[in-house]
Structure 1
Amino acid sequence: MRGRRMALAMVTASALFTALIPAAQAQTAPAETVTIDKARIDAALAAMVADGRAAGTSALIWQAGREVYFGAAGMADREAKRPMRRDTIAQIYSMTKPVTGVALMQLWEQGRFRLDDPLSKYLPEYADMRVYAGVDATGQPRYVPAERPITVRDILRHTAGFAYGSGPTPVHTAYVAADPLALTIRLAEASRRLASVPLLFHPGKQWEYSAAVDVQAALVEKLSGEPFAAYVNTHIFAPLKMTETAWRQPDDRLPRFAAMNVKKDGKLVQQDAATARTLNFVDHALTPGGFGLASTLDDYQRFARMLLNEGVLDGARILKPSTVRLMATDQLDPAIAERAWLPGKGAVGFGLDVAVRKAPPQTPQENRGATGEFFWDGMASTLFWVDPANRLTAVFFVQTIPYDGTLHHDFRAAVYGRDYQGPAGD
């Protein structure tokens, strides 16, 4: 009898333990399971070409450690009648920025700087910055001393106050005149030119997309003692086996290079081959931190998978898990209310060189995505994201200028489903 009671107790305990496992897993599992529908994504890519928003599209998705989708539609080069393929090389523009952020955070892990150090501690040209304060009674611009120094954290989260091209203020005019991102100069000179331009606002007060990531690249050079591109090749691209990602592509890759398409009067106009060569097939002095890389789907997917795996891929450790989590954590104080166009990307904040989703989609029009994901995109409408809740990474290539957010909306809807909400936010 005693043995029977013990056996019954063991069975009961086993059943209770088994019942508890799903309950524990449910606390970390997404509210909705994402199942990749290849036909739905294929149709979305084809529709982008059919309605004239893209000449060619392609996408690569990994989930739970395996490839779950590759697809392409349309042409990489309409004039040459070259279809979009898996090995097509595309200009990724601002998807360069997260790569630069990873490079800088490697040096942070080594104790080379602290995030809240003044930037001028390492790049002295940023001491004593001035801030635009409107115009005086005679219509002349007024400038005041910055309330606090620019910090390294500011350049990682776009709160330094820098401009980024032309605009309505005298600061934008000064930026254009200084031409800090001229391809004929080196990063150190680019940094000095940018430092000569007054700030748009006091550091830490607003979020404004800017040339800050090019300053990050200059800081990588200063702290590492290596040219920026050489550092990235040695410490990121080589260990990740990203063999076809570069600022300067070898000439023999030109036949695989996607043509750029610019929308004019509602129609996409393909740029000529000489224009395409200008950025990626000429050995420029400047290696920008904020743009300039060209890559393939597979190469950039390896970078995304490394981030999903919290800093490691195929045994190559690029960052510590805690560093990736820091980069993917919102760095914007709630008091930073002015955020330019960032809210247009959804219920997001901004980490270190990536946007971070903080809550489920708030409206039917918002891009689908999971709370906790982090992502960025590029001027030619390329996109990548990392979705830890669903153990998913996605890379989307297209070469359409100006940036067309409808492409991202439709691609995400095809990946997740149009009504996807995912896990709740904090």
Structure 2
Amino acid sequence: MIGTAGPAHHRFDPDRLNRIRDWMGALVADRKYPGCSVLIARQGDIVFDHATGLRDIDADLPFARDTVARIYSMTKPVTTVALMMLAERGLFHLDAPVSDFIPAFADCHALIPNASRIDQTEPCAIPTLHQLATHTSGLSYPFNPGVLPAAMEAQDLIFGPSQGPLSDMANQVATLPLAFHPGQRWEYSVGIDILGRVIEVVSGQSLDMFLRTEILDPLGMSETGFSVMPGTQDRFAALYTPLAGDAFDLNSAQTGADTLRLTDTPTDSPFLNASMYSGGGGLVGTIGDYLRFTEMLRSGGALGEAHLLSPSTTRFMMSNHLPGDIASMGPSSFAEQPMDGMGFGLGGAVVLDPGRARAVGSVGDFSWGGMASTFFWIDPVHDLSVVFFTQLSPSSSYPTRPQLKALVHAALKD
């Protein structure tokens, strides 16, 4: 289980670690974030726990460790853990075509090179579960550049919390061509949302129920779910954006006059009663809950009495599954992390070369972030789990992820 210990006990310089407090305070004072929180654990003990600012500016409510936040794409590692739990039971192999589970994908076509219209296609292979998990399937997101993303945007194929059921949207995605032949490139995509539907088909349960009974409840993540959990609504945060336009236009440069414009309120958010179980971006929860998830991964698939995965499967998930780094696969899409020196595992990025990634870190760091600027990483060299929560979209607004990594490593004595 997760304990607490003084920073010095785990070879941290307390004064240098406290620089993180000043850094967080400056982010709030400069109106970059409304509020934020950080948890750092080493070898299973929390050594740093701090929150500052507000979760709701209008109501003057503090951002705290128990604040409920939208974690968006930090849902992806949770869904891929669920996928690998089923794979460990021998129910499928990762090279299985997705059409084995979702027949709508049986007749796949991909856009021809340099296509300018959505009907310029040619037959292609069916994406595999592995390609869906590693963003090499040929699927995309509406906010990426290109012909397929434009078609997805026109049909609003974003797997939003009010767009359920999951089965219908997965079938709708299957009616569109792929952006490229599977395995040819890396492009951030709804692939893990499609895997959420695969999990439903294989398990015979809704994704919501499978995650609850197999992952969230066993790990003690009682305040995390696709909808704001009963009894926690008064701690649910507002969502803000610095953009003048759509807060989810991740490539937009339309900076607004207000750096903290309210875009989703805690009283009428679609996350209060979600109908879509988005395995790629649908969970809301607390930072303490998510630390339990990262600690499970850091510990090799188990936390306390909850044994979700074997150590070998966990290492497999957090290893690089690409031929090289993401940049070598010619992406044109938005990504939550740098692409140079970064590989990709199942549901998260893997540091291959910190120098090329241009951020202090360790080879093997496993990480991912969410659209509301949340972020985590697991450092297997230093036995660290670090989680950062805030509520500002898009996540590309400020370079807080490499800044936090630099602060944490600066405080380490080994």
- When the two structures are superposed, what TM-score results if normalisation uses the length of structure 1? 0.84
State the 1:132 CA deviation. Answer: 0.8
State the partner residue of 1:278. 269
Are 2:286 and 1:296 aligned? yes
State the partner residue of 1:11. none
Are 2:212 and 1:233 aligned? yes
State the partner residue of 1:382. 374
User: 1:108 is matched with which residue: 80, 84, 87?
Assistant: 87
State the 1:75 CA deviation. Answer: 1.1
Are 2:162 and 1:172 aligned? no
State the partner residue of 2:349. 355
State the partner residue of 1:144. 122
Deviates more, 1:195-204 or 1:326-335: 326-335
State the partner residue of 2:45. 66
Percent of residue pairs identical: 34
State the partner residue of 1:161. 138
The CA deviation string for residues 263-306 of structure 1, in whole angstroms up to 9 with x for no partner, is 03253234266476323212x32111111211111100000000
User: 1:311 is matched with which residue: 293, 301, 316?
Assistant: 301
RMSD: 2.4
User: 2:317 is matched with which residue: 312, 324, 327?
Assistant: 327
State the 1:323 CA deviation. Answer: 0.8
Aligned residues: 384
Shift in alpha-carbon separation, 1:176–1:140, aligned structure 2, 3 A: closer
User: 1:409 is matched with which residue: 402, 406, 410?
Assistant: 402
Distance 2:33 2:169 in 1: 33
Runs (4 or more) in structure 1 with deviation over 6 Å come to none
State the 1:121 CA deviation. Answer: 1.6
State the partner residue of 2:221. 242
Shift in alpha-carbon separation, 1:130–1:388, aligned structure 2, 3 A: same
Matches within 5 A, 1:17-96: 35=13, 37-96=16-75
State the partner residue of 1:372. 364
- Greater helix percent: which structure? 1
Task: Work out whether residues 61 and 67 of structure 1, in 8 Å CA contact, stay in contact via their aligned partners in 2.
Answer: yes
State the 1:109 CA deviation. Answer: 0.3
Distance 1:175 1:46 in 2: 39
Distance 1:413 1:135 in 2: 40
State the 1:360 CA deviation. Answer: 2.6
State the partner residue of 1:27. none
State the 1:120 CA deviation. Answer: 1.2
What code does the residue aligned with 1:52 have? R
Shift in alpha-carbon separation, 1:188–1:54, aligned structure 2, 3 A: same
State the 1:308 CA deviation. Answer: 0.4
The CA deviation string for residues 360-392 of structure 1, in whole angstroms up to 9 with x for no partner, is 3347xx222111110100001000111111011
State the partner residue of 2:253. none
- When the two structures are superposed, what TM-score results if normalisation uses the length of structure 2? 0.87
What code does the residue aligned with 1:233 have? R
Distance 1:272 1:140 in 2: 32
The CA deviation string for residues 199-233 of structure 1, in whole angstroms up to 9 with x for no partner, is 10100011100000110100000000001100000
Partner SS, residue 150 of structure 2: helix
Can you give the 5+ residue segments of structure 1 that lack an aligned partner in the other structure?
1-32
State the partner residue of 1:5. none
Distance 2:381 2:87 in 1: 27
Shift in alpha-carbon separation, 1:278–1:67, aligned structure 2, 3 A: same
Shift in alpha-carbon separation, 1:168–1:298, aligned structure 2, 3 A: closer
Task: Work out whether residues 69 and 391 of structure 2, in 8 Å CA contact, stay in contact via their aligned partners in 1.
Answer: yes
Distance 2:166 2:36 in 1: 33
Higher-Rg structure is: 1
Distance 1:74 1:274 in 2: 17
Distance 1:166 1:309 in 2: 35
What code does the residue aligned with 2:258 have? K
Shift in alpha-carbon separation, 1:132–1:357, aligned structure 2, 3 A: same
User: 1:123 is matched with which residue: 90, 96, 102?
Assistant: 102
The CA deviation string for residues 38-87 of structure 1, in whole angstroms up to 9 with x for no partner, is 31111111111122211111101100221100011211111111111111
Task: Work out whether residues 134 and 141 of structure 1, in 8 Å CA contact, stay in contact via their aligned partners in 2.
Answer: no
State the 1:259 CA deviation. Answer: 1.3
